[in-house]
Amino acid sequence: MSAASPHVQRARARRDPLRVAKYRSHLGEQLSARLASAAAHAGHEIADRMARDIARCCETRNVWIGRGLESERGTFDGSATLWRCGYLLCPHCHAAHSLRLRRRARSAIESLQLRVGERFRFITLTLPTAKGVGLLRSYDIFKTAWQLFRKREFWRSRVGGGIMRIEWTPNADGFHVHAHIIVASKWMKFEELRAEWTACIASAWKTLNVAQEIETRSGFAFVNIKLIYGNPNRPRGDNMASAINEAVKYVTKPSNYFDLPDSDLLDITNASLERARLPRSFEVIGRARQSAVEKGDNSRSRTLLDTANLFDGSISYPDSSEWTEWQDEGVPLYRLICLASQFKRREALFHLPRWLWQLVTDRKIESERKRRREELAFRYPHAEFATLDGDLWRGVSSRFSQESVS
C-alpha cells in the first residue's frame, strides 16, 4: 500500500481531534490572558471575569476527546468541552457555534427548490476598509449597506433565497469586512451587481456620517459572483450536493478573534453584554427562511403571541453592595450561594460581588462537568473518553462489558 501524499497527511493531521483540541486550548489560554491584561489596564471588571471563564473553559480538565463516537453517518472521533462558557471569543465555544450555523445553513440550502431560470450562485460583497474604524463600527456600516441592498428591486427580482455570512480580517488600516452569500438566483450582470452594491455603501456612509471614499481604479466596490457547479467525476445525484456542501463549509468557517487588537476585544466584551449591539453575522434569506419555518425551525420567526406590553420596565438585580450587606447582617453563606445560583442570565451573575460570583461559578462548573460526563456516557455507550489532563471514562456499554469480564 503506497504512503499518503504530504497534502493528505497534513489534512489528516488537521482533522485529528487531539491535535485540534490542544490547539484550541492553547489559543484560548493566550486570548484569555490578553483579555485579562487589557481588562486590568482599563479597570474592566466584567471583561476580567469573562477572561477567567474562557480560561476555565479551555483548561485541560474541561476538554475531552472521544474515540468511537457513533452517529447516523457512522463511527468517528471528536472533541469538545464538558462545561461551555458560551463566549464567541472562546475557540472551543466559537467552533461549536460555527458547527451549529453549518447545520442550519445546510438545512436552509437543501430546502430550496430551484425555479425556472434559477441556479445556485456564490456571491461575495466587500466593504472598503475605513481607516481607523473599529470592528463593531465596520459591522454597523456593512449591515446598513446590506439592509439597503437586499430591499432593492435588482436583488429582490433575481434572488429567490439563500444564506449570508459576514466575515472580517484585520489589516494595517482597519478591518476588511465582507460577506459570502449562497443564493438560488436568476442570471445577474456583474456590472449591475457592483454598481448597486457601491451605491448602497455610499448611502450607508452618508447615513452613519463616515467620511470615506472608494479608492479603486474602477471607482466601484469589489464584488464577485460565481456559478456553483458539481464535479463531473462524481455521480450525477451527488456532484451538485457535494459542491454546495463545500460552499456552505466555507461560508460558515470560524472567525479568528485572536488577531483582534486589545481595544476591539474590550468592545466585543461590551457588545456581548448589550445584545442590541451584538452584530448578527449569519442570516437566512428569502424562500430559504420560509422553508425553515415550515420544517419546524421557527427559532428566528416571529411569535404569534404579542408580548410587547407584558413588561414595561427593566429587570433589576441585587448589586454588589446589597450582597455584602446581607453577609454583614449574618446571612449564612450557603443561603447566599443558593440564592445566587438561581440566576440563569449571565448579566445577573455579573452583579454579584467577585467573591460570591467565583463561588457560584465554580459550583456551576463542577456540577455541569459531572452531568455532562454522565450524558456523554449514555449518548455514546460504546465510546471511550479522556480529558486532556488524562482523566478516563467509558460509555455505559463499555463500562458494563468491562465489569462482566472482571
**What pLDDT, in 10s, does the model give residues 235-262?**
555 566 777 788 888 887 777 777 778 8
What is the CATH number for 268?
3.30.70
Q: What percent of the chain has pLDDT over 70?
A: 74
pLDDT, tens digit (0-9, with 9 covering 90-100), for 171-180: 888 888 999 9
Residue 201 lies in a domain: yes
Average pLDDT over residues 121-141: 88
Residue 42 lies in a domain: no
pLDDT, tens digit (0-9, with 9 covering 90-100), for 328-375: 656 565 555 565 555 555 666 677 778 777 888 888 899 999 999 999
Confidence of residue 300 (pLDDT cuts 50, 70, 90): very low
Residue 90 lies in a domain: no
Cα–Cα distance measured from residue 306 to residue 63, given in angstroms and rounded to the nearest whole number = 42
Residue 345 lies in a domain: no
- Domain count within the chain: 1
Residue 1 lies in a domain: no
Cα–Cα distance measured from residue 115 to residue 340, given in angstroms and rounded to the nearest whole number = 55
Cα–Cα distance measured from residue 94 to residue 345, given in angstroms and rounded to the nearest whole number = 19
Cα–Cα distance measured from residue 109 to residue 113, given in angstroms and rounded to the nearest whole number = 9
What's the sign of the alpha-carbon dihedral 123, 128, 134, 137?
A: negative
Residue 338 lies in a domain: no
Q: For residue 21, what is its C-alpha cell? A: 483540541
What Cα–Cα distance (Å) separates residue 315 from each residue in 50, 168, 272, 291, 344? 21, 34, 17, 36, 13
Confidence of residue 120 (pLDDT cuts 50, 70, 90): very high
User: Mean pLDDT over all residues of the chain?
Assistant: 80
- Short-list 337, 199, 170, CA closest to 262: 170
Residue 286 lies in a domain: yes
Residue 33 lies in a domain: no
Average pLDDT over residues 312-338: 55
Q: For residue 102, what is its C-alpha cell? A: 453549518
Cα–Cα distance measured from residue 30 to residue 206, given in angstroms and rounded to the nearest whole number = 39
Q: What is the pLDDT of residue 349?
A: 67
Average pLDDT over residues 52-75: 92
For 152, the domain range is 100-294
Residue 140, φ and ψ in degrees, nearest 5: -60, -40
| Cβ neighbours around 235 below 10 Å, total | 10
